[in-house]
Structure 1
Amino acid sequence: MKKSLLLSAIVAVICSGCVSTSPTGRTQALLYSDSEMQQMGAQSFEAMKQQQKISQDKAKTQYVNCIADRITAVLPDQSQKWEVVLFDSDQVNAFALPGGHIGVYTGLLNVAINQDQLATVMGHEVAHVLAQHGNEQVSRSQITGIGMQAADVALGASGVANKDLYMAGLGLGAQVGIILPFGRDQESEADILGLELMAKAGFNPAQSVELWKNMAKAGGEQGPELLSTHPSHGNRINELQNAQAKVMPLYTQARKQSLTECKING
């Protein structure tokens, strides 16, 4: 039991100085520094550029960069330079990584059919970075690993029969509830923060609802929300509709400025 208590104490010590609050007021455990997360993001992005095909379509690349430039122009930290890459893939997806990296797949352009809809997705992904969701997830995974070791020691010391079965159950719970990338709370948070970003950048937030309707059609039948890292399409659309009144004034104000319209030319 001494080992179990020691491991539990280590978890408590690790977490004692890493508690933070997300932009929407959630409590987060963040174990890693900004520089460490930036290094992880840079390494991951470089690996992806080596492993995946980069689009050579100049018109689409300029279009994606145009939207990214407008979104990143309204971020609090203007010292951060953002690298944007359009990957040639049928995946309907995009992502952003700490350190200023944005990846978009060409397949997304078939579902996000205008600048506002694509800005919905890109704003959402950048919001994940702003809210430090990547740090939160790797920190949770680290803490879970230590906690699993403590549970293994405790069960072994207590002589519990079928210890492996108990550990398998604990592992499944940890995977579903903690380790899976970007849980529903984080996804919902990124939806709202991303909506604010796109509105501030002069993209119509009402198109976020249309985007997710398109996503629902493209995605077909969706599994149970309980085991999904994303909110159900219906819940997501409802939340975005409820947020429109708050973000529309941001959009109206932004449209008073001279903005570059993003279009695919050629």
Structure 2
Amino acid sequence: MQKRLSVGIALVLLLTGCSSVPITGRKQMMLVSEQEVLSASLTQYSEFISSAQKSTNATQTAQVVRVGKKIAAATEEYLKANGFADEIANFAWEFNLVNDAQVNAFCMPGGKIVVYEGLMKIVASDDELAVVMGHEVAHAVAKHSNERMSQQVLTQYGAAILSTAVSNKSAAIQNVAGTVYGLGSEIGVTLPFSRKHETEADYMGLVLMTMAGYNPNAAVGFWQKMAAGNAGGTPEFLSTHPSDSRRISDIQQYLPEMEKYKK
């Protein structure tokens, strides 16, 4: 039985193939198409944004839009210049600040970015906001949601995907979308990425914010502030990340490399 399962999974991988993450080049398994991911995520995003209370703080809202647009432009410029131009069609950028005290932010596949007002109490500059938004956009660019959904499909359906999900994945995708996007969660849309994804997003986020003209050195001070504020509990979007000290240490090691991305 185990042998048949292994063969089945191998055939799935042959049928679906792998893709490479922009910037890092890491190979990833994809059982779910981009359009299926976009459809599932847009449904979750639409439900969230229709019930969320948008911020009335005009200054902070303008800041989120300003920083978001610069990072989006830098992202598209990179994709065009590095053989990923076809990916740009998958993004319809949108930037929102919501009235919520949580220290949180997320970017859905397709470029739907939401920042919570609670996070803005910690952000002291455009550079610091770019640290978070670069990280969140990196999740979308790296297709971490796609990868996460693929892992969930494989876990739940195993080799049976050969006769069902490969030919018609709709039911399978809908079943796992709630897990990936936090359907029913009290905090709305959450993306429980792995530590591998979080670390990759940290690195890619630094690259994206640097290409957008922001100072990547701001990342160290920002995450130190976040670490100092974590005594009462880890914010949701940091819960799967390695320790604060490890994250800051990793970022410090990445910073010298960011010089080549400065304009």
Give me the TM-score of the superposition, normalised by structure 2: 0.75
Tell me if structure 2 keeps the 8 A contact 1:11–1:146. no
Find runs of 4+ consecutive structure 1 residues off by over 4 angstroms: 4-9
Tell me if structure 2 keeps the 8 A contact 1:112–1:214. no
CA RMSD of aligned residues (A): 2.3
How many Å separate the matches in 2 of 1:60 and 1:119?
13
Q: Does residue 1:188 correspond to 2:199, yes or no?
A: yes
Shift of 1:247: 0.7
Question: Aligned residue pairs: how many?
Answer: 217
Match of 1:211 in 2: 222
How many Å separate the matches in 2 of 1:141 and 1:242?
32
Q: Does residue 1:101 correspond to 2:101, yes or no?
A: no
Residue correspondence of structure 1 range 217-256 to structure 2 within 5 A: 217-220=228-231, 229-251=240-262, 253=263
Tell me if structure 1 keeps the 8 A contact 2:93–2:113. yes
Match of 1:13 in 2: 11
Shift of 1:8: 4.6
Greater CA deviation, 66-75 or 28-37?
28-37
Tell me if structure 2 keeps the 8 A contact 1:71–1:201. yes
What do the CA deviations read for 1:175-225 (whole angstroms, capped 9, x no partner)?
A: xxxxx82111111111111001101111110000111001101111668xx
Shift of 1:15: 2.1
Match of 2:34 in 1: 34
Cα distance, 1:239–1:233 mapped onto 2, change above 3 Å = same
Match of 2:55 in 1: 55
How many Å separate the matches in 2 of 1:220 and 1:44?
31
Q: Does residue 1:131 correspond to 2:142, yes or no?
A: yes
**1:61 match: secondary structure:** helix
Cα distance, 1:149–1:234 mapped onto 2, change above 3 Å = farther
How many Å separate the matches in 2 of 1:242 and 1:117?
18
Gaps of 5+ in 1: 151-179, 254-266
Match of 1:87 in 2: 98
Shift of 1:57: 2.0
Partner AA of 2:32 in structure 1: Y
Cα distance, 1:13–1:47 mapped onto 2, change above 3 Å = same
Shift of 1:130: 0.6
How many Å separate the matches in 2 of 1:181 and 1:18?
24
How many Å separate the matches in 1 of 2:29 and 2:231?
35
Shift of 1:249: 4.1
What do the CA deviations read for 1:5-56 (whole angstroms, capped 9, x no partner)?
A: 6555443322222322333243311112222222122112101112322212
Match of 1:141 in 2: 152
Tell me if structure 2 keeps the 8 A contact 1:116–1:207. yes
Greater CA deviation, 213-222 or 72-81?
72-81
Match of 1:258 in 2: none
What do the CA deviations read for 1:81-137 (whole angstroms, capped 9, x no partner)?
A: 301111110111111111121111011111122111110000000001111101000
Shift of 1:248: 2.9
Give me the TM-score of the superposition, normalised by structure 1: 0.75
Tell me if structure 2 keeps the 8 A contact 1:39–1:99. no
How many Å separate the matches in 1 of 2:42 and 2:31?
18
